[in-house]
Every structure is written in structure tokens, then in C-alpha cells.
């Protein structure tokens, strides 16, 4: 072999008698000169091999990427199959993870670098049926089944959109006694534990997503409601005066609103039906020289349609006003239910509504309708939490099973509608992120969040304009520092936020049929050549290209079939259609 020409990123080598042409494609050659440069034969024309330099052998170790070209006088030799192993695969070790076989060198196993794979975001992309779910199952089975290296402190959360992973993860515990698998379900009839989210841990942003808030006025109402519920559900005699003040101010606003008496009376009755204190309730006594009357009796409207005791009431409520001492009541530190939140929203709507135009009031009322509908639906059960728990305690519970650390936590969200599934995924992810941000030392408890159908969650929803961020985009940018890492699985990369995708360090690319998708992805992955883009469009199921920091070099591999497989098999038409014997 002899170098004929050195081009920008290709080397043309002449070779006599090439008769097994096809077999040479994708093989590796070594240019031996001052440096030992490894190249891949990417094409053959007549007696010429077109070779792409891909890396160097330094102290007999293959390093991907080249810093210089081979010298024109290099000796060239074909790398023998027994040496290729070290070019394409990491050696077996505690820090490697076996993934599958080389698609070119069928007998060669490919290990990836475990740390580099799990210390950054990764993405698995491919059309439907290309092998993404099988691959996730295989990766996690391999990770947890090896009893020589147990990732005891791993916490991998899988959002299982189609409820397909349970059987493939189930026997992890049998094969590795130190590992635990936990399954949460959204199916009320399942044997697994029902997924429950404590309503008292939801903050304004969570409520905005849950109740589909549309604008900043609605955020204000939700913020107010959270302030109210956190004050009124607290049994603390020190804040009794604050409670009275809040009720009195809201009622004074109503009394002075100039609205019709009937409306004033009804709104005061509503306010006092949500919140009362020992001193301030419908039975409270208003004293006047000569007679005492209950607050309820003072709200009677006379025959002229007037609230006769307007003056008395105003004076009475004024007496509860206190100089607001700006006491900061911590949120999320007491127990309350979703219906407590409904009351708080009702109260907040009335008191905010008095000061706002009718139009804004009506718009804000959507929130009331939505929380009411939620409470009326069976989805309310997902917020039925029996006792108080802190955010940290809640997450700690998720990753413990019968007193043992659980490493793999699957959320089967197949049984709720898409919008609600999205809400659950976002709320849980935000809880995980909030907790991870407070962990000291930073990133000492890594959380991996794997999203099936990631394009549904990591897209430009209205949360970006309303809340200023999408939790997944945020994690894709900031999560690595705190050890919160995303695994994005998608068949629609173009619908996935570019920000999130571009932050992934490792990609597994399966068959992609749509050229636009291929084009989009190839722009994110610098090593994806035109040739690879073409090949990607016709890969068989289970075959994929690996790109990224966890792989020795960009390479096509065949992923081993997981055992057991997830329930994502193609329909068996032969068996189903033609089995018509009655
Ligand atoms: N590694 C593999 N080895 C053998 N067969 C495979 C492999 N991966 C996938 N297949 C075949 O392809 C089918 C679909 O695989 P899988 O469910 O993983 O696709 P998917 O990419 O997750 O599709 P979807 O986007 O619809 O969820 C499997 O039922 C199986 O028959
Ligand atoms: Mg799938």
C-alpha cells in the first residue's frame, strides 16, 4: 500500500489487486511514521482506498481524534481483527459497560465508558420500532445485573410513557440481591404502589402547570392562594392576629367595593365559609350600646335592598387590622390537601377579584373550575397524601424499598391522559431538581431522569413564556452541576427542544426514516458524516450508531436483545389475524 494523495480529511492509498473490495470497507489501517495514525477505509474506487483518519495509537492505546496527518512515506498496514478490539471498545473493567457487538466485526464486543455515559445527558433517537425501548432495557439490565460491580447509590428514574418496562426490570432483584427495583403506577387496579404527589409540596410553578395557568394574573392568584393556605392551615396561636387581619382586609375590600348589597353579602359569606378564626366567624358577636348581634345577623339586607349595618360592619372589621409585620410564613412546611388548596384559590379569587376588572376576574375563574374538576375526577387520588413529608423526605422515600436503597424507579404513566402525564412528569422532575440543588456536597447524590417520548415534555410549551423556563431545558443546562442528568428517548427529534438536545454528550442513533430528522440530528453531532446520515436511514431494528464521550469512536453496533424484553413488541399479524378458529 502506498499513499497517493493527502486531502483535507481523506487519504488516498493505492493498493494492487483489491479483490475483496466490499470486505475492506469500514476496516482500519495503520499509518506508521513519526506518529501512528489510524484510519478507516470508507470507500474503494478502482485500485484506490479512500481512508479517513480517525485517531492515533499512543503508547499502544487508541485515542480518537487526530492532531496531524500521516507523513507521505508512512508504512501502511491493515489492522488485524485481534487489535481492532482495543480501537472500538473499552476493556472490561469496573468502569465499562457492555452494550452489544460491532456491526462490522460481528465477533467483537463493544464496551462503553460507564462514567462518561452516566455523568452527562444522553439521548436515544430513532423512528418507531427501531429499538430504543429494547436498548434502554438492555443498558439498565446490564448495569444492574453484574454482581461484581453494584451501582448501589444509583437513582435512575424512568418515566415509562407506555407502561412497557415493568417485566424487563422486574427480575433485576433476583439476579442481583443488592439492587432494588421500584414500580409506581397510575393504574388504580395494579398491584404496584400508586403514584402520589403531596399537594403541600407544590409551588406556584407546579400549580400553574397542573391548572394550566395562562397568564401572570393567574400566577398572582395561585401565589396568593399558597400564601393563604400556608397561613390558615397552620395551628399556631401566634399567627391568629394575622389570620384575622387577612379575613378583615378581604371583607373590607368587599364592603367598600360599591357592588350591589346582595353580592357583598354573598361574598362575605363565602369568605367566612372558607376561613374563620375563633374571634372572627359568622357567630362572632358585634356589640352596640343596647344590644349584641351575631355577624350573620348583621348581614341581613333590608327591604330597600340595603345592608343596614354597613357602618357597624366596617368599624368591626377595621378593629381587626394590624400593622402587617411582614412575617415570612414558610411554604411547603405544613400538611394540607387539594381541597384546602381549592378553598384557598376561591378565597384568593374573591379578594384579588375585588380589585381587578370583571374581565380579569372571569379569566381567573378558570383556575377555580380546573381545580374543581380535578377534585371531581379520579386523578385527585394522585394527590391524596396521608401525612406531612418534606421534599427531601418524599424523594428519600421514592428511592427506598423495604428499608433498602432502590436504584431503579419506574413510573408507569400509561394510564393517565397525555396532559396529566406531562404534568406529573414535570412536577416530579422539578421536585427532584429542587432537592438535588440543596444536596451538599454538590452532585453527591446523582439522579438520572429517563424520559420516553421526550419530545412531549422537552418542548416549547407555554411554561417557557409564563414561568420563564421549561424544567427539562433548565436541567439540560444546569443539571450536570447538581448531578441531575437526563436520558432523552425520542422518535421525533425535530420536536425536541434544540437547547436540550445540544447539551447531550452521548447519542445512540437508530434508524431514522425522515430526512429532516436526520438533517436536524446531524447538525448537533459533529462526527455524523454524510455517509452515516445515509446509512442511518436504513438500519435494521437494534442497530445503532454511537456518538459521544462514552464511546471509543463513532461506531455502528448491534445491541443485544434484552432478557426479558419490554412489552413493546411489534404486533404479530400472522398470529393475530389468521387465528380465527372458534
Ligand atoms: N436489540 C434488538 N435485538 C433484536 N430485536 C430488536 C432489538 N431492538 C429492537 N428489536 C425489534 O424491534 C422491535 C421494536 O423495538 P422497540 O420497542 O425497542 O422500538 P422503539 O424504538 O422503542 O419503538 P417506539 O418508538 O415505537 O417505542 C422489537 O419488538 C423487536 O422485535
Ligand atoms: Mg419504545
Give me ligand 1 centre to Cα 333, in Å.
45
Ligand nearest to the CA of 168: 1
The domains of the chain are located at 2-79, 118-198+389-552, 201-378
DSSP state string for 138-201: HHHHHHHH-TTS--TT--EEEEETTS--HHHHHTHHHH-TT--EEEEES-TTSSSEEP---GGG
The total of other beta-carbon atoms located within 10 Å of residue 197's CB is 20
Q: What is the pLDDT of residue 19?
A: 62
User: Ligand 1 pocket by C-beta < 6 Å: which residues?
Assistant: 126, 128-134, 491, 541-542, 559, 561, 568-570
Give me ligand 1 centre to Cα 468, in Å.
37
Average pLDDT score over residue span 59-83: 88
Higher pLDDT, 458 or 558: 558
Asked if residue 129 has pLDDT above 70, the reply is: yes
Q: How far apart are CA 284 and CA 120, in angstroms?
A: 61
DSSP secondary structure code for residue 69 in this structure:
P
Which secondary structure element, helix H or strand E, spans residue 523, and what is its range?
A: helix 515-524
**Residue 580's pLDDT band (boundaries 50, 70, 90)?**
low
Q: What residue's CA is closest to ligand 1, atom 31?
A: 569
Q: What is the pLDDT of residue 24?
A: 83
Burial bucket for residue 494 (CB in 10 Å: 0-12, 13-18, 19+)? middle
Look up residue 332 and give its three cell numbers. Answer: 411547603
Asked if residue 344 has pLDDT above 90, the reply is: yes
Asked if residue 514 has pLDDT above 60, the reply is: yes
| Angle, CA 145 vertex, CA 544 and CA 442 arms, to 5° | 85
Distance linking the first and last C-alpha atoms of the chain: 69
Look up residue 521 and give its three cell numbers. Answer: 440530528
Indicate the range of 103-112, 235-244, 379-388 predicted with least confidence: 235-244
Ligand nearest to the CA of 131: 1
Q: What is the pLDDT of residue 18?
A: 66
Of ligand 1's atoms, which has the minimum distance to the CA of residue 510?
A: 21
DSSP secondary structure code for residue 159 in this structure:
E
User: Is the separation of the CB atoms in 320 and 280 below 8 Å?
Assistant: yes
DSSP state string for 283-352: TPEEEETTEEEEHHHHT-B-TTS-BTTHHHHHHHHHTT--------PPTT-S---HHHHHHHHHHHHHHH
Q: What is the pLDDT of residue 355?
A: 62
Residue to probe by mutation, ligand 1, list 135, 165, 454, 542, most atoms within 8 Å of CB: 542
Average pLDDT score over residue span 233-247: 88
User: Is the separation of the CB atoms in 221 and 348 below 8 Å?
Assistant: yes
Ligand nearest to the CA of 134: 1
Q: What residue's CA is closest to ligand 1, atom 3?
A: 561
User: Is the separation of the CB atoms in 234 and 277 below 8 Å?
Assistant: no
Of ligand 1's atoms, which has the minimum distance to the CA of residue 131?
A: 18
User: Is the separation of the CB atoms in 471 and 430 below 8 Å?
Assistant: yes
Q: What is the pLDDT of residue 535?
A: 92
**Residue 570's pLDDT band (boundaries 50, 70, 90)?**
low
Look up residue 331 and give its three cell numbers. Answer: 411554604
Give me ligand 2 centre to Cα 322, in Å.
60
What is the CATH superfamily name and number for domain 118-198+389-552?
A: P-loop containing nucleotide triphosphate hydrolases (3.40.50.300)
Give me ligand 1 centre to Cα 107, in Å.
22
- CA distances to 30, 86, 100, 499, 571 from 80, rounded to whole Å, are 10, 11, 20, 42, 42
Query: How many percent of the chain have pLDDT more than 70?
Result: 97
Residue to probe by mutation, ligand 1, list 103, 127, 128, 134, most atoms within 8 Å of CB: 134
Q: What is the pLDDT of residue 421?
A: 95
pLDDT tens digits, residue range 384-409? 999 999 999 999 999 999 999 999 99
Give me ligand 2 centre to Cα 126, in Å.
9
Look up residue 497 and give its three cell numbers. Answer: 427542544
Q: How far apart are CA 76 and CA 96, in angstroms?
A: 31
pLDDT tens digits, residue range 535-567? 999 999 999 999 999 999 999 999 999 999 998
Query: How many percent of the chain have pLDDT more than 90?
Result: 66
Q: What is the pLDDT of residue 325?
A: 65
**Residue 224's pLDDT band (boundaries 50, 70, 90)?**
very high
Strand duo 61-64 + 48-58: pairing: antiparallel
CA-only gyration radius of the chain, Å: 32
Q: What is the pLDDT of residue 147?
A: 81
Which residues hold their Cβ within 5 A of ligand 2, which is an ion? Answer: 132-133, 568
Backbone angles phi, psi at 513, to 5 degrees: -85, -35
Strand duo 447-451 + 36-45: pairing: unpaired
User: Is the separation of the CB atoms in 199 and 337 below 8 Å?
Assistant: yes
Q: What is the mean pLDDT of the chain?
A: 91
Average pLDDT score over residue span 105-130: 96
Which secondary structure element, helix H or strand E, spans residue 264, and what is its range?
A: helix 261-274
Q: In 95-120, which positions are buried (b, 16+ CB within 10 angstroms) versus exposed (e)? A: ebbbbbbbbbbeebbbbbbbebbbbb
Please give the CATH architecture assigned to the domain spanning 2-79.
Beta Barrel (2.40)
Residue to probe by mutation, ligand 1, list 127, 162, 568, most atoms within 8 Å of CB: 568
Backbone angles phi, psi at 255, to 5 degrees: -60, -35
Asked if residue 280 has pLDDT above 60, the reply is: yes
pLDDT tens digits, residue range 406-451? 999 999 999 999 999 999 999 999 999 999 999 888 888 899 999 9
Is 470 in a helix, a strand, or coil?
Answer: coil
Which secondary structure element, helix H or strand E, spans residue 409, and what is its range?
A: strand 408-412
Q: What is the pLDDT of residue 291?
A: 84
**Residue 20's pLDDT band (boundaries 50, 70, 90)?**
low
Look up residue 250 and give its three cell numbers. Answer: 378581604
**Residue 237's pLDDT band (boundaries 50, 70, 90)?**
confident
**Residue 22's pLDDT band (boundaries 50, 70, 90)?**
low
**Residue 108's pLDDT band (boundaries 50, 70, 90)?**
very high
pTM to 2 decimal places: 0.92
The runs of H, that is alpha helices, within 108-147 are 114-118, 132-145
Give me ligand 2 centre to Cα 128, in Å.
7
pLDDT tens digits, residue range 359-374? 777 778 889 999 999 9
Of ligand 1's atoms, which has the minimum distance to the CA of residue 558?
A: 1
Ligand nearest to the CA of 137: 1
Q: What is the pLDDT of residue 114?
A: 96
Q: In 22-48, which positions are buried (b, 16+ CB within 10 angstroms) versus exposed (e)? A: eebeebbbbbbbebbbbbbbbebeeee
Give me ligand 1 centre to Cα 139, in Å.
14
Helix axes 261-274, 338-355, angle to 10 degrees: 150
Give me ligand 2 centre to Cα 567, in Å.
9
Q: What is the pLDDT of residue 424?
A: 96
Reported residue count of the chain is 582
DSSP state string for 565-577: PPS-PPP-HHHHH
Residue to probe by mutation, ligand 1, list 133, 487, 561, 562, most atoms within 8 Å of CB: 133
DSSP secondary structure code for residue 188 in this structure:
T
Give me ligand 2 centre to Cα 456, in Å.
14
Average pLDDT score over residue span 125-142: 97
**Residue 530's pLDDT band (boundaries 50, 70, 90)?**
confident
Amino acid at each position: 500500500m502506498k499513499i497517493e494523495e493527502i486531502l483535507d480529511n481523506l487519504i488516498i492509498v493505492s493498493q494492487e489487486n483489491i479483490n475483496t473490495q466490499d470486505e475492506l470497507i469500514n476496516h482500519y489501517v495503520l499509518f506508521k511514521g513519526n506518529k501512528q495514525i489510524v484510519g478507516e477505509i470508507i470507500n474503494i474506487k478502482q485500485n484506490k482506498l479512500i481512508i479517513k483518519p480517525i485517531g492515533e495509537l499512543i503508547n499502544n492505546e487508541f485515542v480518537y481524534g487526530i492532531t496531524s496527518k500521516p507523513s507521505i512515506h508512512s508504512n501502511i498496514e491493515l489492522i488485524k481483527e485481534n487489535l481492532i478490539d482495543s480501537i472500538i471498545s473499552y476493556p472490561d473493567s469496573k468502569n465499562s459497560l457492555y452494550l452489544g457487538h460491532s456491526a462490522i466485526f460481528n465477533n467483537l464486543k463493544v464496551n462503553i465508558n460507564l462514567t462518561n455515559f452516566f455523568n452527562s445527558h444522553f439521548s436515544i433517537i430513532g423512528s418507531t420500532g427501531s429499538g430504543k425501548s429494547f436498548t434502554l432495557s438492555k443498558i439498565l439490565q446490564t448495569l444492574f445485573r453484574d454482581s461484581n460491580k453494584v451501582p448501589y447509590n444509583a437513582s435512575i428514574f424512568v418515566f415509562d410513557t407506555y407502561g412497557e418496562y415493568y417485566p424487563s426490570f422486574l427480575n433485576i432483584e433476583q439476579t442481583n440481591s443488592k439492587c432494588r427495583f421500584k414500580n409506581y403506577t397510575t393504574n388504580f387496579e395494579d398491584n404496584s404502589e400508586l403514584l402520589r404527589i403531596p399537594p403541600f409540596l407544590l409551588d406556584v410553578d407546579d400549580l400553574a402547570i397542573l391548572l394550566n395557568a395562562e397568564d401572570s394574573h393567574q400566577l398572582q392568584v395561585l401565589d396568593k392562594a399558597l400564601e393563604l393556605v400556608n397561613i390558615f392551615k397552620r395551628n399556631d396561636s401566634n399567627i391568629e392576629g394575622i389570620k384575622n387581619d387577612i379575613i378583615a382586609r378581604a371583607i373590607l375590600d368587599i364592603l367598600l367595593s360599591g357592588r350591589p348589597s346582595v353580592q357583598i353579602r354573598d361574598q362575605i359569606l363565602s369568605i367566612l365559609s372558607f376561613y374563620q378564626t375563633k374571634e372572627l366567624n359568622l357567630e362572632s358577636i358585634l356589640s352596640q350600646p343596647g344590644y349584641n348581634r351575631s355577624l350573620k345577623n348583621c348581614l341581613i339586607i333590608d327591604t330597600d335592598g340595603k345592608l343596614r349595618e354597613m357602618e357597624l360592619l366596617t368599624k368591626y372589621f377595621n378593629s381587626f387590622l394590624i400593622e402587617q409585620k411582614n412575617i415570612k410564613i414558610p411554604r411547603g412546611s405544613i400538611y394540607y390537601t387539594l381541597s384546602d388548596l381549592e378553598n384557598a384559590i376561591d378565597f384568593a379569587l374573591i379578594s384579588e377579584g375585588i380589585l381587578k376588572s370583571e374581565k380579569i376576574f372571569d379569566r381567573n375563574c378558570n383556575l377555580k373550575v380546573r381545580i374543581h374538576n380535578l377534585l371531581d375526577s379520579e386523578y385527585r387520588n394522585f394527590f391524596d397524601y396521608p401525612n406531612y413529608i418534606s421534599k427531601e423526605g418524599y424523594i428519600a422515600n421514592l428511592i427506598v424499598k423495604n428499608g433498602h436503597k432502590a436504584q431503579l424507579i419506574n413510573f408507569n404513566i400509561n394510564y393517565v391522559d397525555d396532559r396529566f402525564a406531562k404534568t406529573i412528569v414535570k412536577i416530579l422532575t422539578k421536585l427532584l431538581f429542587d432537592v438535588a440543588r440543596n444536596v451538599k456536597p454538590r452532585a453527591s447524590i446523582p439522579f438520572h431522569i429517563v424520559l420516553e417520548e421526550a419530545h412531549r415534555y422537552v418542548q416549547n410549551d407555554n411554561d417557557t413564556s409564563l414561568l420563564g423556563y421549561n424544567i427539562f431545558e433548565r436541567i439540560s443546562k444546569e443539571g450536570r452541576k447538581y448531578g441531575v442528568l437526563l436520558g432523552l428517548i425520542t422518535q421525533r427529534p425535530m420536536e425536541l427542544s434544540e437547547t436540550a438536545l445540544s447539551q447531550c454528550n452521548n447519542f445512540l442513533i437508530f434508524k431514522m426514516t425522515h430526512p429532516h430528522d436526520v438533517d436536524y440530528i446531524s447538525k448537533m453531532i459533529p462526527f455524523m458524516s454524510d455517509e452515516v446520515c445515509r446509512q442511518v436511514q436504513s438500519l435494521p431494528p437494534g442497530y445503532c450508531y454511537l456518538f459521544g464521550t462514552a464511546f471509543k469512536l463513532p461506531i455502528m453496533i448491534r445491541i443485544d436483545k434484552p432478557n426479558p424484553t419490554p412489552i413493546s413488541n411489534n404486533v404479530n399479524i400472522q398470529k393475530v389475524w389468521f387465528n380465527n378458529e372458534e
